[in-house]
Amino acid sequence: MQENVLVSIIAIAYNQEKYIRDCLDGFLMQKTNFKFEVLIHDDAATDGTTEIIREYEHKYPDIVKPIYETENQFSKGISIYRAYNIPRISGKYVAVCEGDDYWTDPYKLQKQVDFLEANPDYSLCFHPGEVIYEGYDDRKGYILPTYEYIQNGFTFENLLKYNFIMANSVMYRWGFNDKNILDVYPDGFLPNDWYLHLLHAKLGKIGYINEIMSVYRRNPGGIWSDSRDNIGKLHQKYALKEFKFYDSVYKYITEYSYDYLINVLIPAFKEIHKWLVKYEENDLLKQAFQTYPEYFEKISRDYYLETEKLSKQLTDKENELNSVINKGNVYFSYYRYKLLSKILFGTKRKHYKQKAEIFHNKVRAIRKLGY
């Protein structure tokens, strides 16, 4: 009798010739008392990545199950997870690792399966991982999740606000074998791993195994590698995919939670919008406004109200100064006037004017596009 697969590992690879062996070796070194499979997608790599995957497929045909593309799918806006890897999942549990990351503990899968088997009320579990930089001489690695994330707690509510789970550290109790996940998993957004975390965290508790068992590489070829230093460029490049991520979480995961809309989605849209305005990405802005008019109408109202508030604060301060001058009925020299201004509200006058001008510019940018 053929043994059923208990764990499906989903992986994506593209131009990772330098790293892909580490990734595949991390899978194949796993010591388990169950069967697992590697569902890897090669997105038409142009280096030697494809040939290396074929080598492993030839050696381990019952484990390594690739899909090879002749045209790059990601560049067409297709979600690799959704279109190619998720439909092939057959395991009760699912682990994730991308082609430039790797696992360091040969018992990682066994430990995570044992945890989930012993705790049926948990829908996923993860562990800390090491983040390393390759190709950057001035950056030091670190461990995720950080102490701050640990102190805040690993809850669904916190996961809605920020992603504290590295993709290569997670294992899901796959909740969709008997359901159509594609109904709640739209195409064309980023990040995919955070969305999968949320889909499963909604179904149960989040478990944590406090052992470092994986490495996440930040290298110049990675999508998110420069995100810590070039967040604006990241938003400029992936703005529409990010907008769709927050919209999808709001609709399919929180089911139109007002708290999520006000405290997460709208602030995220404002932050991305800020960078698109800075880089004068008018075509992207117009497309975003046409796709999500309800959100940008609210953002426009918020900017208007904030502008009015700042203008009032500036007016109040100026009135306060004029009142002191008038009441004193004293001749003030230019220098005394400046000194009194500084005593009353220091450098804030300039601050208020600058902030008011920033918000006026945002309102003007929105109105220029028809709002």
Q: What is the pLDDT along the chain (371 residues), one digit of tens a residue?
A: 468 999 999 999 999 999 999 999 999 999 999 999 999 999 999 999 999 999 999 999 999 999 999 999 998 988 999 999 999 999 999 999 999 999 999 999 999 999 999 999 999 999 999 999 887 666 789 999 999 999 999 999 999 999 999 999 999 999 886 567 888 999 899 999 999 999 999 999 999 999 999 999 987 655 555 555 578 888 999 999 999 999 999 999 999 999 999 999 999 999 999 999 899 999 999 999 999 999 999 888 887 777 677 677 767 766 776 665 565 544 444 444 455 555 555 555 555 556 556 655 655 655 565 54
Q: Please, where are the H alpha helices in the chain?
A: 20-28, 49-59, 80, 108-118, 147-152, 156-161, 192-201, 231-248, 258-260, 266-278, 282-291, 293-328, 334-345, 348-368
Degrees to nearest 5, angle at CA 109 with 107 and 114:
95
Three-state secondary-structure class, residue 79: coil
Distance between CA atoms of residues 207 and 128, nearest Å: 12
If phi > 0 it is left, if psi is from -120 to 50 it is alpha, else beta; for residue 187 that is: beta
CATH number of the domain located at residue range(s) 5-218 in this protein = 3.90.550.10
Q: How far is CA 236 from CA 79, 111, 242, 272, 274, in A?
A: 19, 40, 10, 8, 10
For residue 155, what pLDDT is reported?
Answer: 97
Distance between CA atoms of residues 69 and 114, nearest Å: 35
Bridge partners for 64 per DSSP: 38
Name the pTM for this structure: 0.82
Q: Is the peptide bond before 191 cis (omega within 30 degrees of 0)?
A: yes
HSE value, Cβ hemisphere, 13 Å, CA-based, for 115: 24
